[in-house]
Amino acid sequence: MNPNADSFSTRREFLKNTGRIAAVSALAGVILPHVHAAENNTIQVALIGCGGRGSGAADNALSVQNGPIKLVAMADVFEDRMKTSHESLMTAHPNQVEVPPERRFIGFDAYKKAMDCLRPGDVAIFATPPAFRWVHFTYAIEKGINVFMEKPVTVDGPTSRRMFKLGEEAQKKNLKVGVGLMCRHCKARQGLFDHIKAGEIGDLVLLQAYRMHGAVAACFAERNTGEMSDLMYQIRNFHSFLWASGGLYSDFYIHNVDEACWMKDAWPVKAHALGGRHYRGAAVDQNFDTYSVEYTFADGTKFYMDGRTESGCREEHSTRAIGSKGSAIVSLSGHMPAKSATYKAYDCGRASKIWAFPQPEPNPYQVEWDDLIDAVRNNKPYNEVKRGVEASLATSMGRMAAHTGQVVTWDDILNSKHEFAPGVDKLTMSSAAPLLAGADGKYAIPQPGIIKDREF
């Protein structure tokens, strides 16, 4: 029996019926027994995407303290990453990880098999490259499963339009959906937002954000040696490829873009940008090394987002807000602690400080999970999809402006016809990659001013 989630108006009503429900797995055509919880209020979790961020999200999920929660299934396309993730989670949460080999799934259809191990009302974690977000979300909605999805949730216009609709479908089914923009759950930033809205630093007239550091993650991939297919190589190095992740701009800078727009309480209407590639060496990725984006809001306020991924240069990771009567630190040196504060002057010195959030700050990575599971257990409205898509669009708008050399408006990016990876829902382990390399082993890169209506 595999009941439709619509037949259960709340998780509590569903849990009354758990003894009559079996989960079906497609593993080798074998029907597996349902994972029976030790207690009838245990929330079961499936991890789909077992890299560092997925493992971190699962760790946070299992650390929620408001009731029993267990990891019961895992999915990935790389067996080594699943093995590492499973071992680390078992070490950290030995009594909450119940994922025997028959519930560790490998392949492009593994996400279905993992979610088939859940009941309606359980939670799936989506931490694969963003290109697959809408595919996995579609199945979760069909199954009546609550979701935590990592950011960004989209990387282009067509998938953004699709995700907006999926978010509405999830809301109609009363599904709880968290998006990994954890800064929105940061108590320090929340406090700062209240102080700004109260007029403490006057009207916002300028926002500035910086994300400057050396090469990180897989943003500068070198040529595929042939040890794996090009599809698997690109997924393994997904930060290097726009179809998979939106590149380093979307994956890394979205937090700064999101928190700046949050403080403004608006999304920008257009973006104008610069960017370029410098010290490439043997790298064959699609990223720029530097990005400088001028966002404009409807009232004319500017937001400058400056990113640089070059070793040996000055490093900074911060966001600031400038008002007509003072200034504010949104975040000072990374995602946490934010060290949010307001000041009477542009110079953020101790003498001019008005307010500061007390230290230490609660970990926002944990708080976002506490909030999501609280909503699941207590049937509170909780759907961050719309805001997650909007933050992804604002980020993509700036990226597209840099990659094309054109002014890109909100409507331009939203209505863009360039879907980076059409057919991603049909990929198999033997499929060709959405992006093909040339005879020299290199991939198409943005050419500002030459290619103007698409990014590659």
CB-CB contact of 203 with 45 (8 Å):
no
Lowest-confidence range among 81-95, 327-341, 427-441?
Answer: 427-441
Residue 31 banded pLDDT, cuts 50, 70, 90: very low
What percent of the chain stands above pLDDT 70? 91
Instruction: Using the predicted structure, report yes or no on whether residue 159 has a pLDDT greater than 80.
Output: yes
Calpha distance 198→2 (Å, rounded): 51
Query: What does the pLDDT look like over 417-429, one tens digit per residue?
Result: 999 999 999 999 9
Instruction: Using the predicted structure, report yes or no on whether residue 78 has a pLDDT greater than 90.
Output: yes
Single-letter residue type at 148: F
User: What's residue 154's pLDDT?
Assistant: 98
Q: Which of 163, 194, 59 is nearest to 384 (CA)?
A: 163
- Class level of CATH domain 186-362+392-426: alpha beta
Q: Where are the domains of the chain?
A: 5-183+369-383, 186-362+392-426
> What average pLDDT is seen over the chain?
91
Contacts of 261 (CB under 8 A, 6+ apart): 267, 268, 303, 391, 394
Q: Could you tell me the CA-to-CA distances from 275 to 22, 192, 233, 404, 407 in Å, in that order?
A: 53, 31, 26, 10, 13
CB-CB contact of 273 with 257 (8 Å):
no
Q: Which residues pair with 209 in a beta bridge?
A: 305, 319
Domain 5-183+369-383 has CATH 3.40.50.720: yes
User: What's residue 160's pLDDT?
Assistant: 98
